[in-house]
Amino acid sequence: MVLTLYGGQRTRASLPRWYMEEKDISYNLIELNRQEGENLQSEFLAINPFGKLPALIDSNIFMPNGEPLKLFESGAILLHLAEQYSDDIKTIETKALTSQWLQFVNSTLSIALLVPSHREKEFPRLMKELDHQLENHQPLVGNIWGAADCAVQAYLAYLPWLFPQVDLDPYPSIQATIESVVRRPAYRKAIGAA
């Protein structure tokens, strides 16, 4: 199996990297320096024409033109890894629910956290519901920790880093989740380098 993950400091490459570390999926990591424009060089643009990180090459799957599968967008990469290299997705239902959570993270949750005008309006309502979703300490989809958990938990764990002024006291399940996540060895390895 040859999976190559392209990432860099402070990119969403940390999500698929954490997932692969947790699931013991072997991969090669190539870190690109965005400040030096390495992600805008022709070699990388052939993998992701938008020049964004992360990107993944899966040399186990070939396209009709004979080239290996190339993916960009952290959610698409996580879904692919969950389907092909893990036991997360065994049914149509678990695929649909995993996709739902990945879409939620990359559109709704990320905007609510990272766009100031949305943070004021959306953040409290989303955090209240996420706190409720996490209060039973069970996986979001199925019965094993998976891609949906990885994406949601990674974004929640970013909160203390990005917004230390945000009061998380009203959200005890989110606080417990963050505390649990940051102690995970695979998370520490992935986030420490990506």
Prediction pTM value: 0.93
pLDDT at 171: 96
**CA 81, chain centre distance (Å):** 11
pLDDT one digit per residue (tens) for the chain, 194 residues: 699 999 988 889 999 999 999 999 999 999 999 999 999 999 999 999 999 999 999 999 999 999 999 999 999 999 999 999 999 999 999 999 999 999 999 999 999 888 888 888 888 999 999 999 999 999 999 999 999 999 999 999 999 988 899 899 999 999 999 999 999 999 999 886 44
> What pLDDT score was predicted for residue 64?
96
User: Nearest 5°: CA angle at 115, between 114 and 121?
Assistant: 110
The tokens describing 90, both together, are 């065994």
pLDDT at 119 (0 to 100): 81
Q: Which residues contact 53 (CB under 8 A, 6 or more apart)?
A: 6, 7, 8, 11, 12, 13, 32, 34, 39
The pLDDT, as a whole number, for residue 192 is: 66
**How many beta carbons lie within 10 A of that of residue 166, not counting itself?**
13
